[in-house]
Chain A
Amino acid sequence: MTDPLALDPVLPRAERSRLPFNAGATHSERFEAFEAHVVAGGKVEATDWMPEEYRTAVLRFVEMHANSELMGVLPEREWIMRAPTLRRKLALTAKVQDEVGHAQLLYRVAEDLGKPREAMFDDLLAGRTKFHNVFHYPTKTWADIGVIAWLVDAAAIVAQQALRDSSYAPYARTMQKVCWEESVHIMHGRDVVVTLATGTTAQRDMLQEALDRWWPPLMQMHGPRSDRSKDRDLHWRIKAKTSEELRQEFLTIYVPRVWELGLTLPDPNLRFDADAGEWRYSEPDWDELRTVVTNHGPRSEARLEFRRLARAETAWVREAILAAPRAAA
């Protein structure tokens, strides 16, 4: 009964509103229409036309995020066999599985932007692309697992929540799912931390030491302050907040919760400046950040080597899948 003509536009072409990236336009007109669209809060889908500049910028951002999810499970998996109770072991295993799942979702988003997954693994393992600084460090005790699951995930979720409104819609939707799952990890981590905080003196000391170890990398994690007007990812609305805005948000929520447990943070200058309405802190060691993210961190090479080994050992699975007849095709 449907009249196919009903899919024709109501107005003649000359009177139609201008589509953002109308196929009839020249490249620069398309570019300008696209830019106006995203700057005004418009969304972009995987199958939409987009300028190469935008495609490359989103790809770089998402690929780094995917790499971090994938590499981020390695410090935690080191503790699955050493988890203190069965319930902790189950929770930690589930968290590791979730994070790998996030990597899968994000690599899928990145693939649609034009880079095959194998090429992303090649670049990661060859050190041509990066992953987050916090995953280049060793885990010394069980308390590290609590601090990572609570505070590293908290610092990450602050950034990820701001990405739920990214102009690149497939990424934004993925972040909604990821944030939902991360909220469980934070509760798991906080539970580990609070349990240790209410434990023996040795457990409290172990917790304080882990916190002292992880605080400098946590303060570096969001990156140095940047100029909002020069940040292209902000301009394209790929992300919504600057590194300093994310750090301030993280400090506002989590410093009071750390102090609440009677724990200290290893920065004598850390305080909330009520007049300025923001946190003051000692300048993080940006040289350390640069050193670590370029794979010169204490565990960078070992973690990459482990990933290379895992990839080689599972190559037969990928080959078997690709060689399989297409069942329902």
Chain B
Amino acid sequence: MTDEAVRDRSAGPSESGALEPFEVFRQEKDGGPMVHGGSVLAPDPLLALHYAREMFSRRGESVRLWVVRRADVHELDDPDVLAPPLDRSYRKPGGYVMRDKLAAARERAGTSKPKARDKSR
């Protein structure tokens, strides 16, 4: 969805358009997900990383930073592709409701509901 118009508008002060937006991703702790933090404007990845460190880790709140040229991000956000209007409940645990069927099964088998497991053991 990134169109040229947007990128042109966000170009920096340079006539040659030497500054460009980099998207910043940060990891809060080792093993955690890389989460989008914001963006910085820089002429190259190295300076983008310096800016990102100043903006997103002053308090030591990140253990890792990524910078990615916005122009290098490819996006898909069409809801008709990502979440088409089809029933997907069979893919989710909540799609399986068996309370009544279980009750019927117990009745047929002449059993009762097992006691809750003792978690202290």
Interface residues of A (CB under 8 A from B): 7-11, 16-17, 19, 45-48, 94, 97-98, 101, 104-105, 108, 111-114, 116-118, 170, 173-174, 177, 181, 318, 321-322, 324, 326-329
Contacts and interface: CB of A to CB of B under 8 A. Distances in A.
Interface of B: 1-3, 6, 9-14, 18-19, 21, 36-41, 43-47, 51, 54-55, 58-59, 75-76, 78-81, 84-86
A19 B44 contact: no
Contacts of B47: 321, 324, 327
A55 to B, nearest CB: 9
14 contacts: A11-B80, A19-B80, A104-B51, A112-B6, A113-B9, A114-B9, A114-B10, A170-B38, A173-B36, A322-B12, A322-B13, A327-B45, A328-B44, A328-B46
B28 to A, nearest CB: 12
Given A19-B79, A47-B1, A47-B75, A11 B41 contact: no
Contact of A108 (B38, B45, B80, B81): B38
B50 to A, nearest CB: 10
A117 B85 contact: no
B13 A118 contact: yes
Contacts of B13: 116-118, 318, 322
Contacts of A45: 1
Given A8-B81, A48-B1, A108 B18 contact: no
A62 B9 CA distance: 16
Contacts of A322: 12-14, 18-19, 43
Given A7-B81, A9-B81, A17-B80, A324 B43 contact: yes
Given A98-B58, A177-B38, A329 B44 contact: yes
A48 B58 CA distance: 31
A10 B1 contact: no
A116 B84 contact: no
Given A101-B58, A114-B9, A16 B80 contact: yes
B75 A17 contact: no
Contacts of B43: 321-322, 324, 326
Contacts of B59: 181
Given A11-B80, A11-B84, A322-B43, 18 more contacts: A9-B78, A9-B84, A16-B80, A46-B10, A47-B75, A94-B58, A104-B54, A105-B55, A113-B9, A114-B9, A170-B38, A173-B36, A177-B38, A324-B47, A326-B18, A326-B43, A327-B46, A328-B46
Contacts of B85: 11, 17
A208 B30 CA distance: 48
Contacts of A11: 80, 84-85
A118 B18 CA distance: 14
B21 A105 contact: no
Nearest to A6: B81
Contacts of A16: 80
Nearest to B49: A328
A31 B51 CA distance: 36
Contacts of A327: 44-47
B38 A174 contact: yes
Nearest to B47: A321
Contacts of B11: 116
Contacts of B79: 17, 19
Contact of B39 (A108, A177, A328): A108
A329 to B, nearest CB: 6
A111 B10 contact: yes
Contacts of B81: 7-10
B44 to A, nearest CB: 4
Nearest to B13: A118
Given A108-B38, A322-B18, A324-B43, A116 B80 contact: no
Contacts of B2: 47
Contacts of B37: 177
Contacts of A9: 78, 80-81, 84
Contact of B44 (A7, A177, A181, A326): A326
